[in-house]
Structure 1
Amino acid sequence: MALMRLLILGGTEFVGRAIADEALARGWQVTVFNRGRHAPPPGVRALRGERGSEGDLGALERGEWDAVVDTWTGAPSAVRDTTRLLADRAERYVYVSSRSVYAEPVRAGLAEDGPVVDADPDDGEVAYARAKRGGELAALAVFGDRALLGRAGLILGPRENVGRLPWWLGRIARGGHVLAPGPADLGLQYIDARDLAIWVVDAVERGLGGPYNLVSEPGHATMGELLEACVRATGADARLHWVAPETILAAGVQPWTDLPIWLPEGDLYDALHRGDVTKAVAAGLRCRPVAETVTDTWAWLKGLGGHAPRRPDRPAVGLAPETEAALLRD
């Protein structure tokens, strides 16, 4: 295959960085466009600028690319502006979207043709679901069937800057009695950022377009397998104590935020951990074992002294020690 030219809007953190690394490993010519707050991956061409209502896209006014990857999570109008600017100079546009675009209630087994939230590509700052759907509409308006919409779910792996798996690793590394939200055999659906990157780069090579749910198959791992992998990876003297969902909820503990990744069975669990990924799997999606994701994330964290970076637009996650202790005493 001829040398591919890839432009990543972002490209220095988590998903964007994983895509940059994968493209570079294949010998692609990679350009990243961002504010310059983080060091670009070695080997890329770095352009500086700002997106949004006060943005400066001047650095993107020249150049041609085979594909653009956009991980933007803010105002859809920023995606509108970049798609219009790059319309005649990029062959394909990959928008890393979210399964949050589906309209509630999201039934178990929902595929890509499910109902989505109302949104507008001209929107300014709006709630996350509308922002992602507005970004999809902006990409589709300009690139049509040359737009690939990667509807990711829960994303884990090295360089995670939301803090979910890093919190669990940090807590288990401290050892002692650890509250484990049950049941242990609760199935999880997520994707390692590196597997997402492999699929996206493959999809660009194949010229895919349209929406794809980008997460593992439901039950790819269980809550028990995830936490047990954390114990093994850290080598900590930690003992998992499985607590029933009813007990945890009665104590006012918030799933997903106080206890990252975990959701009790119900509508939200169905939405986030039971999506249909038949289309993506048929198009080559493969997900590595949970132990590999956990082990590699712990190795990355240790390299940072155990302190993971966190996006300023996302709240801190994790259970307060006194709340955990109280639940373990009951």
Structure 2
Amino acid sequence: MDTALVVGGTRFIGRYTVTELLEHGYEVTLFNRGNHENPFSDDDRATHIEGDRNEETALEAATVSVEPDLVIDCVAYYPEQVRTATEIFSEARYVYVSSGSSYGAEHVPKREGETPLSPCSADQATDDSHETYGARKAEGDRAVFEAAERGVGAMAVRPCVVYGPHDYTERLDYWIDRVLNHDRVVVPGDGQHLWHRVYVVDVASALRIVGEEGEPGEAYNVGDRRLLTLEGVLETIAAVAGTEVEVVPAGDRELAAGGLSPEEFTLYQAYPHVMSTAKLSNLGWESTPVEEAMARTVDEHEGSDRDGSEHDPGREAEERVLGVLDTL
């Protein structure tokens, strides 16, 4: 039986990655600081090593203890973390969870090896702000490529916006809550913009497949094989929930009447963000049908206490926008 070490492993992508590996016969060890509840604490197939990934001695002890065949790094947010990990885990197949944000050009679609990556300055490489996230992920990709040149079996997987059950970001929860609780929901623009999303279960399977079949020094995009516009997302949520919703597009002028701007709505991006997934599919990866993925997501949302309120631009403001639109 192969052994796998998951750096992270308790929250969202890591949680599903551990499940994916267990279901495919791996002996799995989670390595993290223990700051979050471990959903596998009662599963004797998954062991846990507590440690800080920023301490090299802790990572070295983990690799000596586990002797992993495969390492999946879910919580590398700085390029130096990737460089350290590829050195310590040099005897294993190493998969770095990168991001679609690493791309530095608005190509449609974004393709591995063709679309340029974001540059990353020395200051950006150590910064912890949201603005430098894509640059840091891109530099992590370059660290993977450099490691592969040294003979390390290192690869990167680039998810777009990830959704699914247990999503602590609550970005999609906001829209699910709106659809389930309101007959009319405002969306910015014409509702037809595209921001590529991916079901978390499919990210987990991509990480395993790339770990098993991927080529060292390569990066692989992962995203739903069928894209939905924002309007399509809301209509799909309503369909799987057995309800109805009127999606009401609002332009800049109408939004301004409610004191809102398009950027205040989560999962909105004016320019299409689309990534090719052909390279990953060539390894045998398949995407879950979007209706099935959304049904599972909505079902878990209804049993949770998440409502996406931190992303809420304000229902009263939304009602003012609807009032303006009703007079046109």
TM-score normalised per structure 2 = 0.83
> Following the alignment from structure 1 to structure 2, what is the Cα–Cα distance between the partners of residues 202 and 57?
24
Show CA shifts across 1:238-277 (max 9, x none). Answer: 532321444466556454x63222333xxxx23x2x2333
2:95 matched residue in structure 1:
94
- One-letter identity of the residue aligned with 2:136: A
Q: Secondary structure at the match of 1:148?
A: strand
> Following the alignment from structure 2 to structure 1, what is the Cα–Cα distance between the partners of residues 11 and 254?
33
Show CA shifts across 1:182-222 (max 9, x none). Answer: 535544521101112112212222243301121134x5223
Tell me, yes or no, if the aligned pair for 1:22 and 1:197 is still in contact at 8 Å: yes
What is the 5 A alignment of 1:58-207? 59-62=61-64, 63-88=66-91, 90=92, 92-103=93-104, 105-113=105-113, 114-119=115-120, 123-126=125-128, 127-144=132-149, 146-181=153-188, 183-207=190-214
- One-letter identity of the residue aligned with 1:324: E
Instruction: Identify unmatched segments of 5+ residues in structure 2.
Output: none
How far does residue 280 in structure 1 lie from its aligned partner after superposition?
2.1
Q: Secondary structure at the match of 1:158?
A: coil
- One-letter identity of the residue aligned with 2:54: G
- One-letter identity of the residue aligned with 1:98: S
How far does residue 48 in structure 1 lie from its aligned partner after superposition?
0.5
> Following the alignment from structure 2 to structure 1, what is the Cα–Cα distance between the partners of residues 59 and 162?
28
* Structure 2 CA distance for partners of 1:275 and 1:248, relative to 1, 3 Å: farther
1:12 matched residue in structure 2:
10
Tell me, yes or no, if the aligned pair for 2:163 and 2:199 is still in contact at 8 Å: yes
How far does residue 12 in structure 1 lie from its aligned partner after superposition?
0.9
TM-score normalised per structure 1 = 0.83
Show CA shifts across 1:30-64 (max 9, x none). Answer: 11101112214233111101123799546425131
* Structure 2 CA distance for partners of 1:22 and 1:254, relative to 1, 3 Å: farther
> Following the alignment from structure 1 to structure 2, what is the Cα–Cα distance between the partners of residues 14 and 280?
21
Identity %: 27
What is the CA RMSD across the aligned residues, in angstroms? 2.8
Q: Secondary structure at the match of 2:238?
A: helix
1:289 matched residue in structure 2:
289
> Following the alignment from structure 2 to structure 1, what is the Cα–Cα distance between the partners of residues 135 and 49?
28
* Structure 2 CA distance for partners of 1:215 and 1:239, relative to 1, 3 Å: closer
Tell me how many residue pairs correspond in the alignment.
310
Tell me, yes or no, if the aligned pair for 1:95 and 1:150 is still in contact at 8 Å: yes
Q: Secondary structure at the match of 1:260?
A: coil
The correspondence for 2:317, drawn from 300, 319, 323, is 323
How far does residue 232 in structure 1 lie from its aligned partner after superposition?
3.2
More helix by percentage: 2
- One-letter identity of the residue aligned with 2:322: L
Q: Secondary structure at the match of 2:179?
A: helix
> Following the alignment from structure 2 to structure 1, what is the Cα–Cα distance between the partners of residues 56 and 88?
16
Moved more, 157-166 or 126-135: 126-135
> Following the alignment from structure 2 to structure 1, what is the Cα–Cα distance between the partners of residues 185 and 163?
21
Q: Secondary structure at the match of 1:7?
A: strand
